Amino acid sequence: MDHAILEILSKEGRCTPGEIATRLGVDEADVAARIREYEGKHVILGYHALVDWDKAGDGRIFAFIEVRANPERGAGFDRLAEHIAGFEEVHSVHLISGTHDLNVVIQGHDFREVALFVAEKLAPLPQVVGTATSFVLKSYKLEGRRVAVESEDRRLPVTP
Amino acid sequence: MSPSERPRINREVAALPPSGIREFFDLVTTVENVISLGVGEPDFPTPWHVCDEVYDSLRRGFTSYTSNLGLIELRREISGHLCRLYGVEYNPDNEIIVTVGVSEGLDLTLRTILSPGDEVIIPDPCFVAYGPCVKLAGGVPVPAPMREEDAFKLRPEVVRSRLTNRTRALLIGFPNNPTGSVMTREELLPLAQIAEEHDLLVISDEIYDRLTYAGTHTCFASLPGMWGRTVLLNGFSKSYAMTGWRIGYACAPADIINSMMCVHSYTMMSAPTPAQVAAIEAIRRGEPDIERMKGEYDQRRRLLVKGLRDIGLSCFEPLGAFYVFPSVKSTGLTSDAFARQLLETEQVAAVPGSAFGQAGEGYLRATYATSMANLREALVRLERFVPSLERQSRARNGQP
């Protein structure tokens, strides 16, 4: 039952324990208890709407920052990554393999704001060796969902 | 010159009953804001890797006819697939033919094996094409009713009661459209025995084989002694969400396949080549897709069955395909009246059970091949609708 509950909630955050229980053929009280446990242990970090900000006309922008950095003895990149994650402008931070070390996603209102954040806050951090900024121009898929209308049903309304 | 007095339409064709589904479809298209539980196909798109493989094949020019039997690579994949799943062995060289969906496979089989007047026993209710296809092939369909009390399984004694010296074949389809019923190996064995005793061919339409939610599917040809008298029909439409590709196959002993190929070569020539390419990719790399879609169907199935029962409709638990078949008898309405009123008052479309045979009267076919959101909304509307019928019914009977 465990991963099945997470599987459902990861796609449909608003699904109620009652419905999850029906869909999985298990007891509602067990599902509710398990969800509380996940929340308590931060397996479930939160629930949010997946928003197409472009369509909302909000004008916010996102940028991917490739960060090259020197690891610390005993802590690797953890302290630096946690430090970067603390900034409100930072949407997500990942330690990655490949040509650079951290991948940072920044959310801002315009190009200038993001560029200044990188120049004034990120790049000057003592462990950071270099940064490369790529602005997102258009999104095609977000968190597993196609951004273009994907709900269009082309089937005939009644078929044998 | 005056128009000819002679009938312009073949007698058999003119006598075919209008499809109940067709009538209902025409009605549904006149209503707006419809939530349809009337669709007999997956709501998932064809897996992208399948489409991608076809794009590539088109770029490389795979656009000509194939062998009448279909691409040998595909027949080899089908052969391996059936052997892995059910342990049945078909030689890809002469015991498998690729068809334009199971629909052609069914028509082709019946036209190949039936002589005029041969009787074919079919389950009632069943897929709408069974009866008409038997008639078009010169045969006589003989319905064998299935009942809710038997979980819509085909009982051997009912089949026996329909046997005559003209009975040539038994045509079955489990998991069943429209009821969602399945039959286990133990339940199929007595049917196999009847086939053996009366020298019948068995046409087994197993298009929903991968959509079973309890136990495992039994391939009819895997039953003792049945390989030699079974025509196994299957395809890619339901398991792999590939309905529009129109691709299926038939497996049978070489003498039957050879004759089917003869008919097919004069009518279809070969199944569409891009669809055959798609089918190869689906078998080779589509297992995770089947599991993903089946998992989703299973959750919706539980949601819909519970929702219908909570509303007060009796609903047997369907363990296959993607249909539920609730009874609407408690409302005092016929299937057709219930479906029409539901459409008119709440804009929910579901097909009257009577469209699938006389034994379907009193039931409704609702599919869960639609999004969870649609199912939830449909249940909200049904929850308003069903009690309103009961109020009307009490008012008619002069009760408070």
* Domain co-membership, B39 together with B139: no
Name every residue whose Cβ is closer than 8 Å to that of residue B363 and which is 6 or more positions away in sequence. Answer: B125, B148, B178, B179, B325, B326, B327, B328, B335, B353
Q: Which of A22, A156, A160 sits opposite B302 (nearest CB)?
A: A22
* Domain co-membership, B90 together with B157: yes
CA-wise closest residue to B323 among B355, B292, B345: B355
Q: Which of B270, B286, B302 is the last residue of a domain?
A: B286
* Domain co-membership, B168 together with B296: no
* Domain co-membership, B312 together with B281: no
A9 lies within 8 A of chain B by CB: no
A22 lies within 8 A of chain B by CB: yes
- Nearest-Cα distance to chain B for A44, in Å, is 21
The owner of tokens 């133990």 is: B186
* Domain co-membership, B78 together with B104: yes
Q: Residue B399 falls within a domain, yes or no?
A: no
Choose from A15, A20, A149, A158 for mutation: most chain B CBs within 10 A.
Answer: A158
Determine the Cα–Cα distance for residues A87 and B138; give it in Å rounded to an integer: 78
Q: Tell me which chain B residues have a C-beta less than 8 angstroms from the C-beta of A25.
A: 302
User: In this model, does residue A151 exceed pLDDT 70?
Assistant: no
Phi, psi of B152 (to 5 degrees): 55, 45
Q: Residue B248 falls within a domain, yes or no?
A: yes
Q: Tell me which chain B residues have a C-beta less than 8 angstroms from the C-beta of A23.
A: 299-300, 302-303
Q: Residue B397 falls within a domain, yes or no?
A: no
DSSP E strand boundaries for B129-261: 140-145, 167-172, 201-205, 230-235, 248-251
Q: Which of A22, A151, A157 sits opposite B36 (nearest CB)?
A: A157
* Domain co-membership, B156 together with B26: no
A16 lies within 8 A of chain B by CB: no
Average pLDDT taken over every residue of chain B:
96
| CATH number, domain containing residue B74 | 3.40.640.10
Counting the structural domains of chain B, the total is: 2
Q: Which of B230, B264, B286 is the last residue of a domain?
A: B286
- Nearest-Cα distance to chain B for A64, in Å, is 27
- Nearest-Cα distance to chain B for A67, in Å, is 34
Q: Which residue is closest to B306 within chain A, CA to CA? A: A22
* Domain co-membership, B235 together with B92: yes
Q: Which residue is closest to A5 within chain B, CA to CA? A: B299
* Domain co-membership, B327 together with B259: no
What pLDDT does A158 receive?
87
Q: Tell me which chain A residues have a C-beta less than 8 angstroms from the C-beta of B36.
A: 157-158
* Domain co-membership, B18 together with B79: no
B367-to-A160, B46, B239, B343, B351 alpha-carbon distances in Å: 11, 19, 15, 15, 9
What pLDDT does B39 receive?
92
Q: Which of B241, B263, B286 is the last residue of a domain?
A: B286
| CATH number, domain containing residue B344 | 3.90.1150.10
Residues 100-159 of A with CB under 8 A from B: 151, 153, 155-159
Higher pLDDT, A146 or B149: B149
Determine the Cα–Cα distance for residues B53 and B77; give it in Å rounded to an integer: 16
Q: Residue B1 falls within a domain, yes or no?
A: no
| Cβ contact A158–B127 (<8 Å) | no
* Domain co-membership, B225 together with B293: no
Determine the Cα–Cα distance for residues B212 and B238; give it in Å rounded to an integer: 12
pLDDT in tens, B114-144: 999 999 999 999 999 999 999 999 999 999 9
* Domain co-membership, B17 together with B36: yes
Domain that holds residue B211: 49-286
* Domain co-membership, B37 together with B78: no
What pLDDT does A86 receive?
95
pLDDT in tens, B92-108: 999 999 999 999 999 99
Q: Kindly report the pTM of this predicted structure.
A: 0.91
What pLDDT does B18 receive?
82
pLDDT in tens, B198-214: 999 999 999 999 999 99
What ipTM was reported for this prediction?
0.80
Q: Tell me which chain A residues have a C-beta less than 8 angstroms from the C-beta of B127.
A: 160
Q: Residue B396 falls within a domain, yes or no?
A: no
Q: Residue B4 falls within a domain, yes or no?
A: no
Q: Residue B398 falls within a domain, yes or no?
A: no
What pLDDT does A156 receive?
87
Q: What band does B67 get if pLDDT is binned at 50, 70 and 90? A: very high
Whether B236 contacts B203, CB under 8 Å: no
User: In this model, does residue B184 exceed pLDDT 60?
Assistant: yes
Whether B95 contacts B83, CB under 8 Å: no
Q: Within its chain, how far is the Cα of A150 from the centroid?
A: 20
Whether B297 contacts B369, CB under 8 Å: yes
Q: What band does B20 get if pLDDT is binned at 50, 70 and 90? A: confident
| Cβ contact A158–B25 (<8 Å) | yes
Q: Tell me which chain A residues have a C-beta less than 8 angstroms from the C-beta of B323.
A: none
What pLDDT does B223 receive?
98
Q: Tell me which chain A residues have a C-beta less than 8 angstroms from the C-beta of B28.
A: 157-158
- Nearest-Cα distance to chain A for B301, in Å, is 8
Q: Which of B129, B303, B349 sits opposite A158 (nearest CB)?
A: B349
In the predicted model, what is the mean pLDDT of residues A138-155? Answer: 82
Consecutive H or E run containing A132: strand A128-135
